[in-house]
Amino acid sequence: MTVSKSLRVVQTPRPNLFHCGFALKLITAMYRPPAVPELDPQELARKLRSAEDFVLLDVREAWELALAHLDDPRLVHLPLSRLARQRNAAFPQDLLEPDREIVVICHHGVRSAQVTAWMLEQGWRRVSSLAGGLDAYARSVDPSTGLY
């Protein structure tokens, strides 16, 4: 076996549980949810200007709504904390239709990507996440949305 001279090999007599726990945390931190369909902020702006029938699902917490928000009648607020507790039961009846087009939004796009991945696993077929979240939308499309 050839080992590069720039590598230092450290041998321990038995596994160190601290290092095993750290490795698990590191792997967990590096995990990225599977690729999910995303909508860029400009495409969302186009959809908002149109009369398209879709739902804008905001999974941010209630306190975040006061800091930045979109005013649109298609917006449904369903905080991730409630969704985590109630799962499918948290959704209004009309959002349970698997072919309903839904765009999930959050602050930076992380929570919305997680919710989108989960919804796809649950059988929704036309769900996407706002790339970069409401922050990207405010920075590239409409600053009046607010930043926080």
Q: Which helix (H) or strand (E) holds 43?
A: helix 41-49
Respond yes or no: is residue 20 known to be catalytic: no
For residue 125, the one-letter residue type is R
The number of beta carbons lying within 10 Å of the beta carbon of residue 51 is: 5
The number of beta carbons lying within 10 Å of the beta carbon of residue 85 is: 10
Name the residue among 146, 148, 111 with its Cα closest to residue 130: 111
Cβ atoms 36, 120 nearer than 8 A: yes
Cβ atoms 58, 105 nearer than 8 A: yes
The one catalytic residue among 106, 127, 134, 136: 106
Separation of alpha carbons 16 and 111, rounded Å:
34
Catalytic residue numbers read 106
